[in-house]
Amino acid sequence: MSKILLAEDDDAMRTFLSASLRRAGHDVQDFEDGEGALAALEREVFDLLLTDIVMPGIDGIELARRGAELDPAMKIVFITGFAAVALSGGAPTPAGAKVLSKPFHLRELVDEVERVMAA
Protein backbone atom coordinates (compact mmCIF):
# COMPACT_ATOMS: atom_id res chain seq x y z
CA MET A 1 0.00 0.00 0.00
CA SER A 2 1.33 3.40 -0.97
CA LYS A 3 0.50 6.77 0.53
CA ILE A 4 -0.61 8.93 -2.41
CA LEU A 5 -1.31 12.63 -2.68
CA LEU A 6 -3.68 13.36 -5.57
CA ALA A 7 -4.07 16.91 -6.92
CA GLU A 8 -6.81 17.25 -9.55
CA ASP A 9 -9.06 20.28 -10.06
CA ASP A 10 -11.83 18.38 -11.89
CA ASP A 11 -14.20 17.14 -9.16
CA ALA A 12 -15.52 14.11 -11.07
CA MET A 13 -12.06 13.02 -12.19
CA ARG A 14 -10.64 13.43 -8.66
CA THR A 15 -13.49 11.36 -7.20
CA PHE A 16 -13.02 8.55 -9.73
CA LEU A 17 -9.24 8.48 -9.38
CA SER A 18 -9.38 8.48 -5.58
CA ALA A 19 -11.94 5.70 -5.48
CA SER A 20 -10.00 3.57 -7.94
CA LEU A 21 -6.73 3.93 -6.06
CA ARG A 22 -8.38 3.22 -2.72
CA ARG A 23 -10.00 0.07 -4.14
CA ALA A 24 -6.49 -0.99 -5.21
CA GLY A 25 -5.41 -0.70 -1.56
CA HIS A 26 -3.69 2.69 -1.50
CA ASP A 27 -4.02 5.40 1.13
CA VAL A 28 -5.12 8.49 -0.84
CA GLN A 29 -5.46 12.11 0.18
CA ASP A 30 -6.95 14.23 -2.57
CA PHE A 31 -6.97 17.97 -3.15
CA GLU A 32 -8.75 20.20 -5.65
CA ASP A 33 -5.83 22.58 -6.10
CA GLY A 34 -2.09 22.92 -5.85
CA GLU A 35 -2.22 25.16 -2.80
CA GLY A 36 -3.96 22.56 -0.63
CA ALA A 37 -1.76 19.80 -1.98
CA LEU A 38 1.41 21.77 -1.27
CA ALA A 39 0.30 22.41 2.31
CA ALA A 40 -0.16 18.64 2.75
CA LEU A 41 3.30 17.98 1.27
CA GLU A 42 4.76 20.39 3.81
CA ARG A 43 3.07 18.52 6.70
CA GLU A 44 3.35 14.87 5.67
CA VAL A 45 5.48 12.42 3.72
CA PHE A 46 3.93 10.74 0.68
CA ASP A 47 5.22 7.88 -1.46
CA LEU A 48 3.70 9.31 -4.63
CA LEU A 49 2.44 12.66 -5.93
CA LEU A 50 -0.18 12.15 -8.62
CA THR A 51 -1.02 15.53 -10.09
CA ASP A 52 -2.82 17.11 -12.98
CA ILE A 53 -0.53 19.53 -14.81
CA VAL A 54 -3.05 22.21 -15.75
CA MET A 55 -4.65 23.64 -12.59
CA PRO A 56 -5.42 27.18 -11.49
CA GLY A 57 -3.01 28.75 -9.00
CA ILE A 58 -0.07 26.44 -8.38
CA ASP A 59 0.01 24.15 -11.40
CA GLY A 60 1.12 20.53 -11.32
CA ILE A 61 4.64 21.20 -12.56
CA GLU A 62 5.31 23.78 -9.85
CA LEU A 63 3.68 21.50 -7.26
CA ALA A 64 5.91 18.62 -8.34
CA ARG A 65 9.03 20.79 -8.33
CA ARG A 66 8.33 22.06 -4.83
CA GLY A 67 7.32 18.60 -3.64
CA ALA A 68 10.57 17.13 -4.96
CA GLU A 69 12.51 19.80 -3.06
CA LEU A 70 10.72 18.80 0.14
CA ASP A 71 11.15 15.05 -0.46
CA PRO A 72 13.50 13.99 -3.27
CA ALA A 73 12.53 10.33 -2.75
CA MET A 74 8.84 10.95 -3.51
CA LYS A 75 7.78 9.56 -6.87
CA ILE A 76 5.80 11.77 -9.25
CA VAL A 77 3.23 11.00 -11.95
CA PHE A 78 1.57 13.73 -13.99
CA ILE A 79 -1.92 13.13 -15.33
CA THR A 80 -3.01 15.45 -18.10
CA GLY A 81 -4.82 15.92 -21.36
CA PHE A 82 -2.25 18.51 -22.37
CA ALA A 83 1.06 16.68 -21.88
CA ALA A 84 2.87 17.83 -25.00
CA VAL A 85 1.87 21.47 -24.57
CA ALA A 86 2.27 21.66 -20.79
CA LEU A 87 5.65 19.95 -20.62
CA SER A 88 7.15 21.87 -23.53
CA GLY A 89 6.82 25.23 -21.79
CA GLY A 90 10.39 25.14 -20.55
CA ALA A 91 9.58 24.62 -16.87
CA PRO A 92 11.89 21.96 -15.46
CA THR A 93 10.17 18.85 -14.15
CA PRO A 94 11.58 16.61 -11.41
CA ALA A 95 13.84 13.83 -12.64
CA GLY A 96 12.08 10.53 -13.14
CA ALA A 97 8.57 12.01 -13.29
CA LYS A 98 6.16 10.03 -15.45
CA VAL A 99 3.26 11.33 -17.57
CA LEU A 100 -0.07 9.55 -18.00
CA SER A 101 -2.11 11.21 -20.76
CA LYS A 102 -5.89 11.55 -20.53
CA PRO A 103 -8.07 9.86 -21.43
CA PHE A 104 -6.96 6.68 -19.73
CA HIS A 105 -8.73 3.71 -18.21
CA LEU A 106 -8.69 3.58 -14.41
CA ARG A 107 -6.95 0.20 -14.63
CA GLU A 108 -4.12 1.90 -16.56
CA LEU A 109 -3.74 4.38 -13.71
CA VAL A 110 -3.54 1.66 -11.07
CA ASP A 111 -1.06 -0.31 -13.18
CA GLU A 112 1.13 2.78 -13.71
CA VAL A 113 1.10 3.58 -9.99
CA GLU A 114 2.18 0.02 -9.23
CA ARG A 115 4.98 0.19 -11.84
CA VAL A 116 6.24 3.52 -10.50
CA MET A 117 6.18 2.34 -6.91
CA ALA A 118 8.01 -0.89 -7.80
CA ALA A 119 10.81 0.98 -9.61
Q: What is the number of other CB atoms lying within 10 angstroms of the CB of residue 80?
A: 21
pLDDT value for 24: 94
pLDDT value for 44: 97
How many Å apart are CA 99 and CA 82, to the nearest integer? 10
CA 118, 11, 72, 26 dihedral sign is: negative
How many Å apart are CA 59 and CA 55, to the nearest integer? 5
Which segments in the chain show pLDDT lower than 50? 85-86, 88
pLDDT value for 104: 81
pLDDT value for 87: 53
Contact 64, 50 (CB under 8 A): no
pLDDT value for 42: 97
Domains of the chain with CATH codes? 3-112 (3.40.50.2300)
